[in-house]
Amino acid sequence: MNMNNQIPQDKKERWLIPLFMIGIVLIWFLFPWTLSHLAKWLEWNIQNSDDTNFGTFGDTFGALNTLFSGLAFATLIITLILQRRELQLQRKAVEAQQLEIQKSNDIAEQQVTITEQQAELLEKQIREAQVQNFFNILFPLFNRRKTYYEAADKLPVFGPSSHVTNIQSKSTFKTLHMEALKTYDIFHKTYRNDFLYKDDVLRILKKMIHESSPFLLSYSYLKGSKYKENFLYIINFIENFEGIDDKDREVALSIFISDFSMSELYVISLLTIEDEILMEKVIKYKIFNSFIENDHDGKSVFSQLFSE
């Protein structure tokens, strides 16, 4: 209800109560006169012959009081009925409001659920895109490793030499693989019954490598090659790439290591002897775990150097 309709309504309510009171007073005064004329018209005998003061009209006002009492009681009953109806309407209105609120809450909960599902879907899509991007970068790095392998497998010869053809025809990885097998076998037979710390093992192996002239040239060349640099770069890339979890890293490392030949793994084991960073990485990611599992007495170079 607006203010224009509210003002006439307030005026009407202010005049209603005085008019009602005036009506009650008029009924009070006019009721005896009306009752007297009604008695004459209907020829009722409401006056005793010896009563000159119309004392019997006292009963008239008693009837009036009874009338007002009945009206008051009837008004009370009507008021209670109206209040009951009003309460029922209010209760229905409250129930309707509660129902609307419940519907609104249900809609809000559905919207929250939909929003959460959309957020989860978006997060999943972002993660899948990051994983896809990770492998899209990783596989070209694997292919580049093959290029570096081919380059490192051919030992360069500088200056004139009568053995140029013989040196160039030898495979760097094959040479280092055979020398690694020989060196590790000698170490195992010599020190298998000795208790050695890891530093002692490294010191002995370094001395054996530098005293073995047949493969020292190949070993020195490979230490500074792009092949070794690429190996470390790929491991660091897998380790530090953001947006992937440990499972993705394990899969990537598994694919990476599965592509290595036995010769390459032996050569990498030689390169770790004088490279602390490379040693840390191969131990952390269990690059030589297959060698360690096959070492039953735990005395091999792989068990003593690369076990956690």
**Model pTM?**
0.61
Give me 148's structure tokens: 């570096």
Buried-state track 193-227, b at ≥16 Cβ within 10 A, e below 16: eeeeeeeebbebbeebbeeeeebeebbebbeebeb
Instruction: Check pLDDT > 80 for residue 240.
Output: yes
Mean pLDDT of 105-125: 90
What is the average pLDDT value for the chain, to the nearest integer? 80
pLDDT confidence band for 72 (50 / 70 / 90)? confident
Mean pLDDT of 117-124: 90
pLDDT confidence band for 1 (50 / 70 / 90)? very low
Instruction: Check pLDDT > 90 for residue 65.
Output: no
Bigger pLDDT: 29 vs 245: 245
Residue-level pLDDT at 153: 86
Instruction: Check pLDDT > 80 for residue 7.
Output: no
Residue-level pLDDT at 63: 62
Question: Sign of the CA dihedral 267, 272, 273, 279?
Answer: negative
- Determine which of 43-57, 93-107, 269-283 has the lowest per-residue pLDDT on average: 43-57
Instruction: Check pLDDT > 70 for residue 13.
Output: no
Mean pLDDT of 115-120: 90
Mean pLDDT of 11-19: 60
45: left (phi over 0), alpha (psi -120 to 50) or beta: beta
Residue 107: HSE in the Cβ half-sphere, 13 Å Cα cutoff: 6
Percent of the chain with pLDDT over 90: 26
Instruction: Check pLDDT > 80 for residue 112.
Output: yes
Instruction: Check pLDDT > 70 for residue 182.
Output: yes
Residue-level pLDDT at 70: 66
> CA-to-CA distance for 55 and 50, rounded, in angstroms?
10
User: In terms of C-beta distances under 8 Å and separation of at least 24 residues, what long-range contacts does 260-268 make, across chains too?
Assistant: 261/173, 262/177, 263/173, 263/174, 263/176, 263/177, 264/149, 264/173, 265/291, 266/176, 266/177, 266/180, 266/181, 267/173, 267/176, 267/177, 267/180, 267/222, 268/231
Instruction: Determine which helix (DSSP H) or strand (DSSP E) holds 168, and give its type and residue range.
Output: helix 164-169
Residue-level pLDDT at 81: 82
Output the DSSP codes for 204-219: HHHHHHHT-HHHHHHH
Residue-level pLDDT at 67: 64
Instruction: Check pLDDT > 60 for residue 157.
Output: no
DSSP state of 171: B
Residue with tokens 């500074």: 224
Residue-level pLDDT at 133: 93
> CA-to-CA distance for 183 and 206, rounded, in angstroms?
10
Residue 246: HSE in the Cβ half-sphere, 13 Å Cα cutoff: 1
Question: What is each CA distance from 199 to 71, 205, 274, 280, in whole angstroms?
Answer: 115, 10, 11, 14
Q: Cα 135 from chain centroid?
A: 25
φ and ψ at residue 261, rounded to 5 degrees:
-85, 170
Residue 42: HSE in the Cβ half-sphere, 13 Å Cα cutoff: 9
pLDDT confidence band for 166 (50 / 70 / 90)? very low
Residue-level pLDDT at 167: 46
Give me 245's structure tokens: 């979890």
Mean pLDDT of 28-40: 66
Q: Rg of the chain's alpha carbons, rounded to an integer? A: 55
- 154: helix, strand or coil: strand
